[in-house]
Structure 1
Amino acid sequence: MNSTIADGIHYFGLAGFPMAVRRVCTDSEHAPSHPHDLTEVEHSHDFCELVIVTHGSAMHMLEGNEFPVTAGDVFLLQGRQRHYFYDRQNLDLINIMYDPEKIALPENELRRMPGYCAMFMLEPTFRRQHRFASRLHLKRVPLAHVEQLAEAMERECDDEMPGREVALRAKLLELMVYLSRAYTSTDTTEAHALLRVGNVIGALENDFSKDWKLDELLQIAHMSRSNLMRVFRKATGQTPIEYLVRLRIQRAMEMLRNTDLTITEIAMEVGFNDSNYFTRQFRRALGESPRSFRQGKA
């Protein structure tokens, strides 16, 4: 089967705000629900898509793996993941499409929530291994609340009132926070494993300047050293300590741009006890010194 690219331009417009809400409803003929409806066509996106299953069931083919979906399932499809649905039985979906970079989501703040780390960062990576068992599945009342939030976003998209970009971004963040909190109540073994790693990421994000020891992170995760390293690296591409160093560098970049603190003061503020070591790590990450970075951003 040939795979199609679902280009964001068809959903966001040429110069539109990179967020859209599309409904998919299954009728007896499985007719398209909207222009560029690719529900039953293998495709991938150049954006993220948050899928909310509001009714019915289907099989979901994702990267060559089959997963059953049913009403209450909520999951994230990251860009460039090939997928389609088949065997639709009265399936209704709400697809919230967005480009996280272009709408400038506050990722640093979102990653302070273990549920966000687990659902939006880890679950897509471990979906195949867990056979979709780590997905978020909402019961009727929370699903109804999520539908209300999505409907409010849909109205903002349709009305095109002044300020809709701000309103859409705010509503997406509200939805993400609600789903992240809901994920912490998920009762599957697979979800609990992701939440343990999410707790580690959240701890690092919330207290990045602390002199963290690996043993402390192992206690937070309730995992063995080898297991934490394996899962963490698979999810983030880094070890916990490498992740922490990169996080500190990101914070240092903000301070170099926005404060008059000296480089030594910034190094200490973000958790480096040695300004020379800070400079080496900064150069390793960005290819230039903190001083050069500050001068270039002036």
Structure 2
Amino acid sequence: MVQKLYSDDFFVSHEQAIAIEPRVPQYAYPEHFHDFNEIVIVTGGKGMHILNGKPYDLHAGMIFYIEAADHHLYENVDDLVLTNILYRHPDSFHFLNNISSLLPDRETEPDTHWCLDKRNFQQVQKVIDEMVNQRSLPAVQKESLFLQMLISLQQGRYFEQGQGKTEDRIHQLLRWLKIHFYEEIDWLQLAEKFSLSLRTLHRHMKNDTGYTPQRYLTKLRLSEAYYQLCHTDKSITHIALDCGFNDSAYFATSFKNEFELTPRDLRTKPLVQN
């Protein structure tokens, strides 16, 4: 028998329209459904989510939307970390109206799993932290924060698989690279993932960014390395590996060509005080 989860077990009162439920970690959980809706943000690890019989691979940076009648479960989890944003029927809100316009329409957007770009991911996390740390906020402020989150999710979400016009798929691919730049990239496979030919990928990336795909990828990696060198205590070799460089000598050469100083020079360079 499929388990049903009830809002009374998660919401403090019937007046409460929104609840935050972190899962650190999310364990394997059998098939279930709710009497409330849910937005789920994957903040770490990986696993398998099966929604209404359809499997989805989960990784950090993904979001998905669960309606009350949906049946879903989690399995094959590996350090999976989730933030669940529970919300009642839209009519339960005191100050918000027509939030459905900020949610995916199942009829026109049947796929429920999306990726979230880095900037909006950070904005959403900031809003969630504020909601969690200030649980005694009045309803008007909580609903205002929830609205901010919905707007950021709508602005930043994109399909991992390419859909739409060529320009849309190129932009989806560029956003995907900003999240997955540290991975080993097979450009032919990536082009196929976003329903593009390799020639189209090269041409449009050069037009949009001014760089070849590999050069653009290297710049993303170097930018992250620069940040980590300034703001973490990780070793230079560790940072190089974290950012997708398998060869520390190549990393050092690329870094110097990009920033006109070596990683070690940056580490020892005094910070300029404004």
| TM-score normalised over the length of structure 2 | 0.53
Per-residue Cα deviation, 1:159-212 (whole angstroms, up to 9, x for no partner): x24x2x1111001100111111123x657443679x9xxxxxxxxxxxxxxxxx
Letter of the 1:150 counterpart: I
Conserved? CA contact 2:18–2:86, under 8 Å: yes
Which residue number in structure 1 is paired with residue 31 of structure 2? 42
The structure with higher relative contact order (CA 8 Å, sep 6+) is 1
Instruction: Give matches, 1:133-152, under 5 Å.
Output: 135-152=113-130
Confirm whether residue 173 of structure 1 aligns to residue 162 of structure 2. no
Structure-2 separation of matches of 1:56 and 1:17: 30
Q: CA offset at residue 107 of structure 1?
A: 1.0
Structure-1 separation of matches of 2:106 and 2:165: 11
Conserved? CA contact 1:156–1:167, under 8 Å: no
Q: Using a 3 Å threshold, how does the CA distance of structure 1 residues 191 and 8 change in structure 2: closer, same or farther?
A: farther
Conserved? CA contact 2:120–2:152, under 8 Å: no
Q: CA offset at residue 125 of structure 1?
A: 6.0
Identity of aligned residues (%): 21
User: Secondary structure at the residue paired with 1:122?
Assistant: coil
Aligned length in residues: 165
Q: Using a 3 Å threshold, how does the CA distance of structure 1 residues 51 and 124 change in structure 2: closer, same or farther?
A: farther
Divergent runs of 4+, >6 A: none
Per-residue Cα deviation, 1:223-278 (whole angstroms, up to 9, x for no partner): xxxxxxxxxxxxxxxxxxxxxxxxxxxxxxxxxxxxxxxxxxxxxxxxxxxxxxxx
Instruction: Give matches, 1:1-298, under 5 Å.
Output: 2-26=1-25, 30=27, 40-99=29-88, 100-104=90-94, 105-107=96-98, 111=101, 116=102, 119-122=103-106, 126-127=110-111, 135-157=113-135, 160-161=136-137, 163=138, 165-183=139-157, 188-190=161-163
User: Secondary structure at the residue paired with 1:76?
Assistant: strand
Q: Using a 3 Å threshold, how does the CA distance of structure 1 residues 41 and 125 change in structure 2: closer, same or farther?
A: farther
Structure-2 separation of matches of 1:91 and 1:155: 22
Q: Using a 3 Å threshold, how does the CA distance of structure 1 residues 175 and 14 change in structure 2: closer, same or farther?
A: closer
Q: Using a 3 Å threshold, how does the CA distance of structure 1 residues 169 and 62 change in structure 2: closer, same or farther?
A: same
Unmatched segments (≥5 aa) in structure 1: 31-38, 196-298
Q: Using a 3 Å threshold, how does the CA distance of structure 1 residues 17 and 191 change in structure 2: closer, same or farther?
A: farther
RMSD of aligned residue pairs (Cα, Å): 2.8
Conserved? CA contact 1:8–1:18, under 8 Å: no
Structure-2 separation of matches of 1:8 and 1:153: 18
Q: Using a 3 Å threshold, how does the CA distance of structure 1 residues 187 and 81 change in structure 2: closer, same or farther?
A: closer
Structure-2 separation of matches of 1:90 and 1:54: 10
| TM-score normalised over the length of structure 1 | 0.49
Unmatched segments (≥5 aa) in structure 2: 169-274
Letter of the 1:153 counterpart: M
Structure-2 separation of matches of 1:124 and 1:51: 20
Q: Using a 3 Å threshold, how does the CA distance of structure 1 residues 191 and 179 change in structure 2: closer, same or farther?
A: farther
Structure-2 separation of matches of 1:155 and 1:192: 41
